[in-house]
Amino acid sequence: MMNQVGFKITNKYNGDRYGDTEDICILLYSFLESSSDIAFASKLSTLKNQLLVQTPFRTAFDEGELQTDGNSFGRVEERALVADEEVFRRIGAQLAVIGDRLAAEIEPSFVNNLAQQFMVQNVPSQEITQHLSQAVEAVMRTMPRDMEQEKAMLVAAMVLAKKVANIVPAFLQQVFNTTVNYINHNLHDYVNNLAPEN
Domain ranges across the chain:
4-192
Q: How far is CA 167 from CA 29, 43, 62, 156, 160, in A?
A: 18, 12, 44, 17, 11
Angstrom distance (rounded) from CA 159 to CA 165: 10
Its CATH class, for the domain covering 4-192, is mainly alpha
Q: How many CB atoms lie within 10 A of CB 116?
A: 13
Supply the pTM of this predicted model. 0.77
Angstrom distance (rounded) from CA 14 to CA 137: 23
pLDDT for 106-146, tens place per residue?
A: 989 989 999 999 999 888 989 999 999 999 999 998 887 88
For residue 136, give every residue at least 6 positions away whose Cβ sits within 8 Å of its Cβ, in sequence order, or none.
Answer: 153, 156, 157, 160, 182
